[in-house]
């Protein structure tokens, strides 16, 4: 049976982190999820570094909105511990709010920015940015 030679974090933007080689002699018959924990942790650290770097290059959000979104996530996580279904309902309401709010914004962004500009501002590759704007703006991602 083939075995992976290494673990590596990757991103839809095209970024790939460094390889973290797997020592199969040391791993032996252990479960990979346990035996390669250090390599997996290294991938998570690489990913965290990448997301911080991408976040620094994207369009900034106002601090008040960032704090509000972080608080919302905390509250939904807290609710999930006592009432998971209520947390799902809250997440669903959040999703609906995002779709409503994103509609006009996506349509305005489509007129103001080209695909490369939108991708850079969102921290995505051009294809992913086009699809995200189309999803929020409710148009076909295959239309111009």
- The residue count for the chain: 144
Strands 20-21 and 6-7: antiparallel
pLDDT in tens, the chain (144 residues): 677 889 999 987 788 999 999 888 888 888 877 888 889 999 999 999 999 998 888 999 999 999 999 999 999 999 999 999 999 999 999 999 999 999 999 999 999 999 999 999 998 889 999 999 999 999 998 876
Q: Which residues contact 17 (CB under 8 A, 6 or more apart)?
A: 8, 9, 10, 43, 46, 47, 50
117 alpha-carbon distance from chain centroid? 19
Q: Check residue 99 and give its pLDDT.
A: 94
Q: Identify the CA nearest to 45 among candidates 67, 17, 73, 71.
A: 17
pTM of the model: 0.68
Residue 13 Cα distances to 8, 122, 128, angstroms? 15, 11, 8
Q: What is the pLDDT of residue 72?
A: 97
Q: State residue 93's pLDDT score.
A: 97
């Amino acid at each position: 049976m083939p075995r992976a030679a290494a673990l590596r974090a990757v991103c839809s933007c095209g970024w790939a982190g460094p390889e973290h080689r797997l020592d199969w002699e040391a791993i032996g018959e252990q479960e990979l999820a346990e035996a390669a924990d250090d390599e997996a942790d290294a991938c998570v650290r690489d990913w965290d570094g990448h997301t911080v770097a991408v976040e620094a290059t994207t369009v900034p959000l106002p601090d008040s909105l960032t704090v509000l979104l972080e608080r919302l996530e905390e509250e939904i996580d807290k609710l999930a511990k006592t009432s998971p279904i209520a947390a799902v309902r809250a997440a669903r309401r959040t999703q609906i709010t995002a779709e409503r709010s994103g509609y006009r914004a996506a349509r305005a962004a489509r007129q103001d920015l080209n695909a490369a500009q939108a991708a850079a501002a969102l921290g995505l590759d051009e294809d992913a940015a086009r699809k995200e704007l189309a999803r929020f703006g409710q148009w076909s991602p295959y239309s111009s």
